[in-house]
């Protein structure tokens, strides 16, 4: 049975609210996700929150009932509460009807099956949670095998990143690693490393992509370091016809991902 919590001072409320901070996420091994759509998508992938909070007004919603049943069956705890406390947990004035605290999950490089998709996304020192979330959504949209975060990247389990991913956090394998580990792993099997760079004459529309393609996007402000570009099998660029000298990192990744998808997808037959 769900328990009722209506006091801001409740220790569990304080504990879950603290997950908005990176240090507490690391200590607890949990992160926050909010919204009925995102939590339902998580449930459909087999991931359930350890703690599920829902607003009293949405108690009889069919999807809330389904979440409640599955969380309790899996040994999690379900809490009925007020919109005011949901706002406190999420940090938003207009909170979603449900908030879940999930166990942090990471994938190890060694467990990746690079044959599961012809497209993989790799981001180096990505700093903006909105970009990270958008790249996750792009990866889900093109059927990428996963997202590999290299170096000091923004936390994919931050509240902002989870919101921006719109549920793709639960559908895309995520690996956090460093360049010194990633490169030997990549070279231990098939895989073409394609870097986005302005220091090349290879046009992104005519470049020779080979599966599996690992698309490497650099830091938003600095791009790829020269030593990483040197390790790429192929560097490509997108023409900039206006005054801007580059695209947003997430936008560039999306354009490239769909170009590679088109390259690897056979033309439809009449």
**pLDDT tens digits, residue range 122-133?**
999 999 999 999
199: burial class by Cβ within 10 Å (0-12, 13-18, 19+)? exposed
pLDDT of 100 strictly over 70: yes
Residue that the structure tokens 């979440």 belong to: 67
Q: Quick check: 32 and 90 in contact, CB under 8 A?
A: yes
pLDDT for the residue numbered 225:
93
- Please state the φ and ψ torsions of residue 256, each to the nearest 5 degrees: -65, -40
**Among candidates 114, 173, 115, which has minimal Cα distance to 149?**
173
Q: What is the pLDDT of residue 121?
A: 98
CB atoms within 10 A of CB 151: 18
Instruction: State whether residue 146 is helix, strand or coil.
Output: coil
Mean pLDDT, rounded, for 21-31: 95
Mean pLDDT across 87-116: 89
**More confident: 244 or 5:** 5
Q: Name the least confident of 42-51, 71-80, 190-199, 260-269.
A: 260-269
The winner for highest mean pLDDT among 1-15, 130-144, 236-250 is 130-144
Cα–Cα distance measured from residue 89 to residue 112, given in angstroms and rounded to the nearest whole number: 34
pLDDT, tens digit (0-9, with 9 covering 90-100), for 218-268:
988 888 999 999 999 999 998 877 877 667 899 999 999 999 999 998 766
pLDDT range class, residue 160, cuts 50, 70, 90: very high
Mean residue pLDDT across the chain:
93
Helix axes 62-73, 36-44, angle to 10 degrees: 50
> Considering the chain, what percentage of its residues have pLDDT values greater than 90?
82
Kindly tell me the burial class for residue 36, based on how many C-beta atoms sit within 10 Å of its own C-beta (0-12, 13-18, 19 or more).
Answer: middle
Domains of the chain with CATH codes = 3-103 (3.30.1330.30), 109-264 (3.40.1280.10)
Distance separating alpha carbons of residues 246 and 263, to the nearest angstrom: 23
Is the pLDDT at 269 greater than 70, yes or no? Answer: no
Render pLDDT for 231-241 as a digit per residue (tens, 0 to 9): 999 999 988 77
Residue 269, both tokens = 């037959």
Residue 114 to residues 17, 56, 121, 179, 261, Cα–Cα distance (Å): 37, 45, 12, 17, 16
- 91 falls in which pLDDT band (50, 70, 90)? confident
């Amino acid at each position: 049975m769900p328990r009722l919590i209506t006091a801001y001072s409740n220790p569990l409320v304080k504990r879950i609210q603290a997950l908005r901070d990176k240090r507490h996420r690391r200590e607890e091994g949990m992160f926050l996700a909010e919204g009925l759509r995102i939590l339902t998508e998580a449930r459909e992938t087999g991931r359930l929150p350890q703690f599920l909070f829902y607003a009293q007004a949405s108690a009889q919603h069919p999807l809330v009932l389904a979440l409640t049943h599955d969380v309790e069956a899996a040994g999690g705890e379900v809490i009925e509460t007020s919109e005011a406390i949901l706002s406190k947990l999420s940090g938003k004035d207009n909170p979603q009807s449900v908030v879940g605290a999930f166990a942090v999950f990471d994938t190890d490089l060694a467990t990746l099956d690079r044959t599961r998709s012809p497209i993989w996304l790799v981001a180096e020192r990505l700093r903006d949670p909105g970009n990270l979330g958008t790249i996750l959504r792009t990866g889900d949209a093109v059927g990428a095998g996963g997202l590999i975060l290299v170096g000091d990247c923004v936390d994919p389990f931050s509240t902002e990143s989870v919101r921006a991913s719109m549920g793709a956090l639960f559908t895309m394998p995520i690996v956090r690693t460093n360049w010194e580990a990633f490169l030997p792993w990549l070279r231990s099997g098939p895989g073409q490393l394609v870097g986005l760079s302005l220091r090349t004459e290879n046009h992104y529309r005519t470049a020779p992509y080979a599966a599996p393609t690992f698309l490497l996007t650099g830091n938003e402000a600095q791009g790829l370091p020269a030593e990483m570009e040197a390790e790429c099998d192929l560097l490509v660029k997108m023409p900039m016809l206006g005054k801007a000298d580059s695209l947003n990192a997430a936008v560039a990744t999306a354009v490239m991902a769909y170009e590679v998808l088109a390259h690897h997808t056979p033309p439809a037959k009449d």
